[in-house]
Structure 1
């Protein structure tokens, strides 16, 4: 059982530690990589030995980040997880499970965090873990350099869909402003993250649109990409992250589902919802979690089984929302 701690405790733990290993989640996105790299740079600035470890390769779209990848050259004495809501999200490659079972501190923004670490700081009101670290790093006595600012901006911007998603708050904009003032190259980052698509990414989107299906009087839209399609397109997993907003963007759709098959055959399912339904309710019942408007889970089995399982939970949530409105 984890001990929930406050910001002061987190700062004191990090300042007292050395030989620090920072863990990111599998299928890394901009928030886990941006947060992990920013924290690593801040700790190194304070004279500490620190490195980042991820089960999966870092996507090329984030190659501007100066990531110190853990190479086994030191024995970790303190393990920190950033943006990882559950132990199953660490993955299995790069010996990450050796450290995932003994996480000293977790810094996260998912209210569904399972409490796997010895101590946990969760701010469910933060749009991204990077938003949380934007204020934590200065509290540690480290300076937010332009490099750190660019890493943190990546996390904040990607987890908010460039400040379009409902998790964006006034505090999110304040964090972004602080990062811009600290030297984040926003024009270059926004172009890289949101305005540039590879040929492979466009091919994958076309395949996804060809799979588009509607359910429950068109209130739910679903797209699906198999592993063979992803391989045929030659697209990296990180490039597919923004596909998750596509089904929900269709007029009249309350619940948008994106199913992406993984190499092991399981399906990573992203759930996006409108104001009347709760994405986390849908994902949690299948062992996942997330936020009220954006959540996810993983399901084993073939495409039909995965669709059936998630659609059953969608119907329950739509029925719940309808019952509430009828009261």
Structure 2
């Protein structure tokens, strides 16, 4: 059931012990949303925990330096930036049917939670978390501002993507009032790469294949690539944008092999193509220009399925 901002604020204020769930393969928006909400609730004297089925990536350590894990029986469960039950991951999949409120910006949200605060026009879930914190009377500070800014910056590609709005800039500017180190954050998020990330990037670039008169470019990340480079899952963030950066490419596809041999697919599209519709035919979803799904079977089968599906749109 869709619920408004006021009811979400009332529900959060009415409870005291919160479990905040972020999606698997966590990125800046889900972590910024989760920890931003955590710091806000703690400021109001409430108990909260932030969890994820996957380990929090080390590159986001600055978001949770002041986080204190707490053990308690939660009375209220909140999912942030988590559009589908499939994204809970194995460790917290059992809680998918117990979520009280999901706060999200993905148009493909499956509305699995008892209540959903969904704003698909928001560039990042952190923009909605900002409004929630404001509605609860939380006082913004550097910690919260860092979380909110990071989520917005990462989901807008440092304010370069077309999902960036006036509101994105307005909220980011507000957060800058609280001594948020935007230079340090931007450098860490967009200009810093590990040696293993450079190594996997080289192999991925060598895997590029072109289709449909070079309007579609596809890259692959296999388990063997990860082993040979020593790259971890969290170091793959941002790789999916590489194919779309190639001149003339309108649909960029990245296939990433999972432990069970299936492939997680990320599609990034330029004007004129709806990535969410392509992924929707394969059981996934997302945004118009950024979406994902999972294709079963080996690499060659995954490529075949994707090309046949994309062919319906080009």
TM-score (norm 2): 0.97
Question: For the residues of structure 2 that align with 1:236 and 1:190, how far apart are their CA atoms?
Answer: 21
Question: For the residues of structure 1 that align with 2:307 and 2:179, how far apart are their CA atoms?
Answer: 45
Q: Is the alpha carbon distance of 1:221 and 1:245 closer, same or farther for their aligned partners in structure 2, counting shifts above 3 Å?
A: same
1:17 CA drift (Å): 1.3
Counterpart mapping for 1:123-202 below 5 A: 123-202=119-198
Question: For the residues of structure 1 that align with 2:230 and 2:146, how far apart are their CA atoms?
Answer: 27
The alignment partner of 1:33 has SS state of helix
1:69 CA drift (Å): 6.8
1:236 CA drift (Å): 2.6
Question: For the residues of structure 2 that align with 1:130 and 1:25, how far apart are their CA atoms?
Answer: 14
Question: For the residues of structure 1 that align with 2:117 and 2:174, how far apart are their CA atoms?
Answer: 22
Extract unaligned runs of 5+ from structure 1. 319-327
The alignment partner of 2:268 has SS state of strand
Select which of 83, 87, 106 maps to 1:85: 83
Question: For the residues of structure 2 that align with 1:143 and 1:88, how far apart are their CA atoms?
Answer: 34
Of residues 243-252 and 175-184 in structure 1, the stretch that sits farther from structure 2 once superposed is: 175-184
Select which of 292, 301, 304 maps to 1:305: 301
1:154 CA drift (Å): 1.1
Q: Does 1:64 align with 2:62?
A: yes
Superposed CA deviations along residues 186-227 of structure 1, whole A, max 9, x for unmatched, are 011011111100000000100100100000111100000101
1:59–1:236 Cα contact (<8 Å) kept: no
Extract unaligned runs of 5+ from structure 2. none
Question: For the residues of structure 2 that align with 1:253 and 1:69, how far apart are their CA atoms?
Answer: 45
**Runs of at least 4 residues off by over 6 Å:** none
Superposed CA deviations along residues 166-190 of structure 1, whole A, max 9, x for unmatched, are 1111111111111112322101101
1:265 CA drift (Å): 1.8
Counterpart mapping for 1:156-305 below 5 A: 156-305=152-301
Of residues 106-115 and 228-237 in structure 1, the stretch that sits farther from structure 2 once superposed is: 228-237
- What is the Cα-based RMSD across aligned positions, in Å? 1.2
The alignment partner of 2:313 has SS state of helix
Question: For the residues of structure 1 that align with 2:139 and 2:228, how far apart are their CA atoms?
Answer: 44
TM-score (norm 1): 0.93
1:99 CA drift (Å): 2.1
Of residues 50-59 and 222-231 in structure 1, the stretch that sits farther from structure 2 once superposed is: 222-231
1:53–1:69 Cα contact (<8 Å) kept: no
1:143 CA drift (Å): 1.3
Q: Does 1:39 align with 2:55?
A: no
Q: Does 1:17 align with 2:20?
A: no
1:101 CA drift (Å): 2.1
Question: For the residues of structure 1 that align with 2:155 and 2:227, how far apart are their CA atoms?
Answer: 25
1:313 CA drift (Å): 1.7
1:239 CA drift (Å): 2.3
Q: Where does residue 322 of structure 1 map in the other structure?
A: none
Question: For the residues of structure 2 that align with 1:272 and 1:75, how far apart are their CA atoms?
Answer: 40
